[in-house]
Structure 1
Amino acid sequence: MRALISFFILVACLSVGITAYFGLGVNLMDAILVTGLFALTCFVIIEAMFRRRTEKYLAQRVSEIAQQLGVVARTNEIMSDQVNYLSNINVNNRLEDVEADISVLGTVIRELAEAVAEVEEAQATQAMAPPPPPAPAPQSAPNVSSINTQKRHAENVDEEEVDVPISILQDALAEGRVRQYLQPIVTLPHRRTLGYDLVPKVSQPGSKLLSAHEFLPNSDRTGTISELEQMLVRQAANIIHRSNIAGEPTSLFVPISYSLLNDVDACERLVDLVRSNRAVTASLFLTMEEEKYSRLSDNQRAALSMFVKIGVGICLDKVRSLRLNFQDLYARGIKYVKADTQRFIEDPQSYSDLHNADVADFVKRYDVGLIMDNVVQEEQILMLLDDKIPFAQGEHIAPPSPVRPDLLGEQQKVQSTAY
């Protein structure tokens, strides 16, 4: 295109020169000069036009490249977000959940097949069996009901627990004879310490120690049990604080009851005490029997929720069944549940409809720890390992032992309000 334009410019310049030489009568040198000036002027004008066109084209290309770079930048940002999202996904947890669901589903299908087979076998046996003989007419037995009633009454009298007088605990608190013992809770299979149960005992003359069921009454209207539990929580916070300073952090499980939760002022004081040291809240757990926890009143639940709000965990002891709503329990601050080892091994159906090997995975899905209590022999530990139970506790693993004096600090005497 540019060559064609240059050709026409040359033709036009020659035409101008010939016209000036022959038509205007100028001499040859002037005609050549006019031709050169005209050609130069035309070339300058054409070059300016081409330069302007080239600059406009380059500006458009630069604008398009800038737009493309913006699109590439947005694409890179989207890809970066996708990569970050994928990197934050914990595939192992999802795989564990899927494996647990598949295992539970397989167990349910297997149990259903076994139940159907048993029903079919029973129906076949009944179909092949001869008809039963007619039952004899019932005979009157006027004294059987009264005899059974008397037997049941006698059994209830024998099994009735004798209540412990509250004065034993009051004297022990006033004289400073309450001793603190620790019983470890270990992980399986490595048997590393998860934490300790804080076990109160009362020392008697002659180096005799009374366990909790020997000095704690079934009911208390004097507030003595509340004073004991307040002392236990304070000493637990002290032990956790001292162990953290010594470089040996540990967790403590402190038993509580209705008596402490009924005393709202005492709960508020304990919450303020524990809140003052954040390192204590994560290592402190309040233990309560599952049956008592299920019967808490609204006021008692509100008192317990004060501890949960500051980070204190709850442990349910002596659970009657593992058919619990663990998602709801975790939302209420339940971190651990304790079940009886012997009953779990010998009568698993009383705890759960799942197979024993699937129970721990089912509970773990809701971030709740399952602790098997009252382990008394090594064979039970082997069975718990086969069932993938994560935590265990019992006399066979380690009996309660006294708290080290450097962790406990100075013993304090408590004057009961009943005096």
Structure 2
Amino acid sequence: MIRISTIFIAICMVLVAASLGLVLHAVAGFSGTESAIVALTALTFLILYNAVSMRLRDRSDVGGQIADLSRGTADLARQVAEFGRRLAAVEGRLVSANSASSDRIQAVVGEISELGVLVKQLAVSVASHEDLLASGAAAAASAPARPDPEPQHEPAVAAEQAAPAARPTPAAAAKPAPVEAASPSRNQPQLLAAVKNAVEESRLDIYLQPMVTLPQRKVRFYEAVTRLRDDRDQILAADDFIPTAEAGGLIGKIDHMVMLRCVQVLRRLMVRNKDVGVFCNVSAATLGNPANFAQCLDFLEANRALAPSFVLEFKQAAFRHLRPTEIENLAALSQRGYRFSIDHVTDLRIEPRDLADRGVRFIKVPAALLLDPKQSSTSDIHPSDLSDLLGRFGIDLIAEKIEGERAVVDLLDYDVRFGQGFLFAPPRPLRPEGASATGGATANKDSANPNGSSNTVPMAGPAAEPPMRATGNAALARRAAGPG
């Protein structure tokens, strides 16, 4: 459609050319033909000038339009790239979600299959118990008047066989007796002398107690418990001699000896299972003593390859009152890859972020403290939410001092992943020569103790798992059946 401005320009050009012809004819004396020729020439010139100017103006407008089009194309390309990035992110999330879902499904399938095995074991255990009870009742009915000790002994044997994992081993049950009788008879100087002689003569024993996963009850870690033997072979528990050793300046030597034994035991354990770990108790006094800490740090630096499986354990009270020097030494251990654990927990006022920053990866809380109803009002968090809170900062909760099946069932509701206590296995003694890596020492130890009461942990761990699973079948069955 012709624009009005173009029509107006054409009219103006015709008027200018006609006016020029009239002026030449009237003023200059040109003839009509000459004036008309001049007017046509002027009109042609004006038309050409207008066409050229319009072409130039259109070309400049086309250049601006091309620039605008290029800018729009660039914006469109950026938007397409953004949409592509978002689409790739959504696809990645879908893939990760599918992978996580498949992992959860596989885990659930594994749990279901394991529960099926446990139910079968429960049925076999119940059948064997019923057979034992029926045989005991038949024996008692066959000889009611004869004062024979066998009918009384047979139910006792059945009861012992019904709960093999809850009863401590003969070595573990017999050795603590002299400790309770001998400790009160010593005063402080005598106890210090006994501890000093035991350290100098290397009469230091390592007892190992397993930590198991819940509810599978597979051995995952071992805690090294220290015992000292005096010159009369009476055993001193850690709670009896550690305060005296710290006061006498002997705790550094004890910690170094314990670390050496624990590393030797860990190397033997990792030959059979690469996923096993050992918890080694360390006193805060060792961190504060420059000479003792330098000796321990050199030893741990030499065994840095075992750092992921070697956990150093401290008391909660000592960890809360660390001095600047001890904090720096703790950071030096953390930089070398060693992880820490907190035990002897007396309250649930825990700051997981601060503990995680210092390298703490495990917290051991007594089962009685977790299940205490009063803790929900005295602590900042309900005990049932403690495991989830610690897990957000990479800290695992371990329930210790578990002594009954009912506690296990309640702790499963609290999402506790690890457990430790006499219910699973008592601390088992490890002879000093058993800590060496030589095969001859192991053979001598096994031949000297055929009943297995002082077996090393690599032999005691797998042998203790079937009774522990059988003991936990009743709790799993009760939990599946529900209350009442």
Q: TM-score, normalised by structure 1?
A: 0.58
Matched, 1:349 2:379: no
Structure 1 residue aligned with 2:45: 41
Q: Does 1:334 align with 2:360?
A: yes
Q: Is the 8 A contact 1:375 1:396 kept in 2?
A: yes
Q: 1:358 to 1:6 in 2, by over 3 A?
A: same
Candidates 390, 396, 400, aligned match of 1:373: 400
1:52 and 1:408, CA in 2 relative to 1: closer, same or farther beyond 3 A? farther
Distance 1:287 1:200 in 2: 13
Q: From 56, 63, 73, give the equivalent of 2:60.
A: 56
Q: Are the aligned partners of 2:365 and 2:400 in contact in 1 as well (CA < 8 Å)? A: yes
Tell me the SS of whatever aligns to 1:357.
helix
From 231, 251, 255, give the equivalent of 1:229.
255
The answer to whether structure 1 residue 186 and structure 2 residue 212 are counterparts is yes
Report if aligned partners of 1:229, 1:256 keep a CA contact under 8 Å in 2: yes
Distance 1:159 1:306 in 2: 37
**Percent of paired sites with the same residue:** 20
Residue identity opposite 1:291 in structure 2 = A
For the 8 Å contact 2:182–2:234, the answer to whether it is kept is: no
Aligned residue pair count: 334
Structure 1 residue 397: deviation in Å? 2.8
Between the aligned partners of 1:21 and 1:406, the Cα distance in structure 2 is 137
- Give matches, 1:17-416, under 5 Å: 24-25=30-31, 38-64=42-68, 160=184, 162=186, 163=191, 165-166=194-195, 167-172=197-202, 182-191=208-217, 195-200=221-226, 212-213=237-238, 216=241, 218-220=243-245, 224-234=250-260, 236=262, 248-275=274-301, 280-294=306-320, 296=322, 299-345=325-371, 347-349=372-374, 353=378, 355-364=382-391, 367-400=394-427, 409=437
Q: 1:64-84 CA deviation, whole Å, 9 max, x = no partner?
A: 556667877898999999999
Measure the CA separation in 2 of the matches of 1:60 and 1:244. Answer: 75
The 1:294–1:7 alpha-carbon spacing in structure 2 relative to 1, beyond 3 Å, is closer
Is the alpha carbon distance of 1:3 and 1:409 closer, same or farther for their aligned partners in structure 2, counting shifts above 3 Å? farther
Kept in 2: contact 1:281–1:312 (CA 8 A): yes
TM-score by length of 2: 0.51
Asked whether the 8 Å contact 1:340–1:373 carries over to 2, the reply is yes
Q: Secondary structure at the match of 2:374?
A: helix
Question: CA separation in 2, counterparts of 1:159 and 1:279?
Answer: 39
Aligned partner of residue 184 in structure 1, secondary structure: strand
Deviates more, 1:350-359 or 1:237-246: 237-246
Q: Which residue identity is paired with 2:339? A: G
Letter of the 1:349 counterpart: K
1:381 Cα deviation after fit: 0.9
Q: Which runs of 5+ in 1 are unaligned?
A: 89-156, 412-419
Can you list the C-alpha shifts for 1:93-135, whole angstroms capped at 9, x where unaligned?
A: xxxxxxxxxxxxxxxxxxxxxxxxxxxxxxxxxxxxxxxxxxx
User: For the Cα contact (< 8 Å) 2:220–2:275, is it kept in 1?
Assistant: no
Three-state SS of the structure 2 residue aligned to 1:183 is strand
Are residues 37 and 160 of structure 1, via their aligned partners in 2, closer, same or farther at CA, if it must alter by over 3 Å? farther
Structure 1 residue 338: Cα displacement: 1.6
* Cα separation, 1, equivalents of 2:344 and 2:185: 18
Offset, 1:260: 2.4
Between 369-378 and 196-205, the greater mean CA deviation after superposition: 196-205
Give the gaps of 5 or more residues in structure 2: 94-180, 440-484
Moved more, 314-323 or 330-339: 330-339
Alignment check: 8 A CA contact 1:216 1:225 kept = no
SS in 1 for 2:244: coil
Q: 1:80 to 1:328 in 2, by over 3 A?
A: farther
How far, CA to CA, are the matches of 1:236 and 1:84 in structure 2? 50
Instruction: State the partner residue of 1:146.
Output: none
Offset from partner CA, 1:266-303 (integer Å, 9 cap, x none): 32344355456765444432112223444555544444
Deviation at 1:47, TM superposition (A): 2.0
Distance 1:225 1:170, change over 3 A: farther
Give yes or no for contact 1:21–1:27 (8 Å, CA) kept in 2.
Answer: no
RMSD after superposition: 5.4
Structure 2: distance between partners of 1:50 and 1:407:
102
Moved more, 61-70 or 248-257: 61-70
Distance 1:204 1:272, change over 3 A: closer
